[in-house]
Amino acid sequence: MSDLTDFTLAEARDAVKAKKVSSKELTGAFVKAVAGAKSLNAFVTETPDKAMEMAAASDARIAKGEARPLEGLPLAIKDLFCTKGVRTTAGSNILGNFIPPYESTVSQNLWDAGAVMLGKTNMDEFAMGSSNETSYFKPVVSPWRAKDSNQNLVPGGSSGGSAASVSANLCLAATGTDTGGSIRQPAAVTGTVGIKPTYGRCSRWGIVAFASSLDQAGPMTRNVRDSAIMLRHMASVDPKDSTSVDVPVPDYEATLESGVKGLRVGIPKEYRIDGAPPEIEALWSKGAEWLKAQGAEIVDVSLPHTKYALPVYYIVAPAEASSNLARYDGVRFGHRTKDAVHDITELYEKSRAEGFGAEVRRRILIGTYVLSAGYYDAYYSRAQKLRTLILRDFTEAFKKCDVLLTPATPGPAFALGEKSADPVSMYLNDVFTVTVNLAGLPAIAVPAGLTANGLPLGLQVIGKAFDEATVFRAGRSIEVAANFSAKPGTWWRAA
């Protein structure tokens, strides 16, 4: 290894376990890498002292023969996960100074497994965005650039900081959250792997809420194996989260190489959309050929209500957001204005106007509107009925197949500022991902190819509820066939 930061999570785990490298050496290399990558703006809060302290404790455990599964491995945590004693902002000014007195269940699970925290990654404000441009702490810049171009690109969103930090080798792996594609979409456009597990597989306790019936935590990693390792240790039932499900968490890594022979892979015809770049269609066809060559059976399926998924999502998610974000009023939680002089209404209005960014305000307004008297039945109630039909489509499709193969995004990363003035264009980035959240299913994005100008594209595998093991197997088979080895340049490194 030329550089310790080139390790995958699995390689680092094995090297630390074999005492070829200490956690302090490994963590020190990543702390240095993070410090040298300020131009990517991937982190909101860096925790180098805490990281080195945790690494020293890991080395002491290893010396005593008490190593845990992720002992001494440095990770990055999306700034939506509450971390005890470490600032947690959700990318928003309204939580700009929030230091939680408690730890989220998912991050606690990782620390209990021995992992080390490098810091908190930047994100779209309250996870609302597909490009990481709505963050109060300025946009994240992708480490990738198109061939012969110096133009800064978006890393996808909302987990853009996590995607950029994994892609740029600033951490071994990172946590993300996915409400409508916020793990899979940034993973696809940064050449990394991201899985949204089944709704209820990971606890949502201690994760700042966006849309409670859609949000789900998951890992962002350099390859499928690392993703399988991470999810095993992130997932758990949790008495503090009534939506977490008490089902065993398998050893996903153990079955990873089982292959896809005999697996039925469904190709949903509704995912062929007008105006998609021909590269996306070509990659999708190639993905089906790769799986067929490895012994899978390709079957055509239909998901007839797919065309309603985006409008349903952009009614349900803002409705839940308007409810969840009502607590941030400057009295109970969040930023409090210094300019209110008349009454409590003025205090609420000014605190929220100063605390929330434009996209969050837009979604709160949409959500409040669709929940209001006279419009609830016309919008929210109809959206929930359609959501049931979308889930039924998947149930019917899975009678014919074991997994579904689709594109992950409608195109590669775009330039910073290119779509930020057009919300509808931005929302269309989630066209292939939102159905999975509405149905509560697991899905993985795997890097599978490059555009003509050298930018990553991904494929998505969707599975049955709580069957992440099969999703990982299919994802691994694509990874092997694609042999994706492209890396972004290092233009962003401090001299």
How far CA 441 is from CA of 37, 262, 273, 277, 436, in Å, comes to 35, 22, 22, 26, 5
Does residue 98 sit in helix, strand or coil? coil
| Residue 466 DSSP code | T
Provide the pairing of β-strand 456-463 with 443-450.
Answer: antiparallel
- Cα(439)–Cα(443) distance, integer angstroms: 11
What is d(CA 77, CA 377) in angstroms, rounded to the nearest whole number? 39
Is 158 tagged catalytic? yes
Strand 403-407 and strand 264-268: the pairing is parallel
Q: Six-digit token pair at 294?
A: 């490895």
Strands 43-46 and 403-407: unpaired
64 part of the active site? no
365-390: b (≥16 Cβ within 10 Å) or e: ebbbbbbeeeeeeebbebbeebbeeb
The rounded distance, in Å, linking the Cα atoms of 322 and 317 is 9
Region class of 167: left (phi > 0), else alpha (psi between -120 and 50), else beta: alpha
182 has catalytic annotation:
yes
Containing 49, the helix (H) or strand (E) segment is helix 48-63
- What is the token pair recorded at 150? 């110096």
Which of 92, 158, 351, 477 is catalytic? The answer is 158
Q: What are phi and psi of 481, to 5 degrees?
A: -70, -40
Residue type, 325: L
Q: Which DSSP state fits 306?
A: G
**DSSP secondary structure string for all residues of 90-124:** TT-GGGTT---SS--HHHHHHHHTT-EEEEEE--S
Cα angle, residue 207 at apex, residues 206 and 211 outer, rounded to 5°: 130
182, 203, 351, 420: the catalytic one is 182
3-state secondary structure of 231: helix
Decide if 158 contacts 129 (C-beta within 8 A).
yes
What are the respective helix, strand and coil percentages of the chain, to the nearest 5? 40, 15, 45
At 297, list the tokens: 């059976």
Q: Are 252 and 228 in contact (CB under 8 A)?
A: yes
Q: At which residue do the structure tokens 């995004």 appear?
A: 409
Running DSSP on this structure, what letter comes out for residue 85?
Answer: T
Active-site residue, from 78, 120, 196, 464? 78
- Contact (Cβ atoms closer than 8 angstroms) between residue 136 and residue 357: yes
Catalytic site positions: 78, 158, 182
